[in-house]
Structure formats: C-alpha cells, structure tokens
Amino acid sequence: MLFCLKKLCVVGNRLLNSISFKFSKDYSKLYENLVFIELNRRYSILFYYITKNNFEVDFLVFEKNKESKLIQVCYDVSNKNTLERETRALLEASKELKCKNLYILTKDVDKEEKGIRYILVWK
C-alpha cells in the first residue's frame, strides 16, 4: 500500500488557470483542485492513494487516525472507459484498505450504485 503526498494543488482555481499553459480548460483538474481545497479545510489528514496494481484514487481521507473515505473527482462520467477507470480504482483501494465509504464527485450525476455514492461536486 502506498500513500503519497506529491499531488500539487494550488490555493485557488483562478491561480491555477493563470499559471497554466493550456489553451483550453481542463475541468477535471479544476474540479479536483476545488475539492482538494474543501477537503483540506475539513480534514487534517489527506492523501492520495495508489493501489498495488497502480490505480490512483484522488483522495484518501483520514478521520480519527483511520482511513474513512476514498474519493474520486471526475468532471464527466458519461464515457464508459472513464467510469470504468474511476470505479476500478475505488473498488480496488476499498478492498486493500477495508474502507467502505466510496465517493465519485462529478458535474451531473447524483446516485448510489455498486457501493459508490456519486455526488454533484457543488454539494
């Protein structure tokens, strides 16, 4: 099991946009940064997680010194391959960590399916 702290997030999305050299907006990165800012405000221990098979989970939240939440941030889950990648990482990490609180934060899906809670990112 690997815990990593290397994820680079900035104080705000406006700053992220101003230092980015892209010509189009990467909404997934903007969403992920937005979620990081909010999770960092709420929780003192926050990592990302890489499974044994090298799948990345965006956020691993600790509460009371125990893994409590696994969170993926995905702007658009309408693409079958994207959805498969995001859920596969969550489910594998869930098995490895014995963590049952699984979330995908997205722009337009609000449901629960296969033990994963999809939440609109603005909520």
The residue segments making up the domain with residue 103 are 25-120
pLDDT score at 19? 45
Q: How far is CA 14 from the centre of its chain?
A: 20
pLDDT, one tens digit per residue, over 70-106 is: 999 998 899 999 999 999 999 999 999 999 999 999 9
CB 92 within 8 A of CB 51: yes
* The predicted structure's pLDDT at residue 18: 46
What does the block give as tokens for 13?
A: 């999305």
First to last CA, the chain: 30
- Binned at pLDDT 50, 70 and 90, residue 7 comes out as very low
**8 lies in a domain?**
no
**What pLDDT, on the 0 to 100 scale, is given for residue 33?**
81
Helix (H, G, I), strand (E, B), or coil: what is residue 41? helix
Tell me what pLDDT residue 25 has. 55
pLDDT in tens, 12-68: 444 444 444 444 456 777 788 888 888 888 887 888 899 999 999 999 998 877 778
CATH number of the domain where residue 32 is located: 3.40.1350
Residue 97 lies in a domain: yes
Q: Look at the chain and report how many structural domains it folds into.
A: 1
What pLDDT score does 70 carry?
Answer: 96
Distance CA 13, CA 33 (A): 7
SS (H, E, C) 71-112: EEECCCCCCHHHHHHHHHHHHHHHHHHCCCCEEEEECCCCEE
How many residues does this entry show for the chain? 123
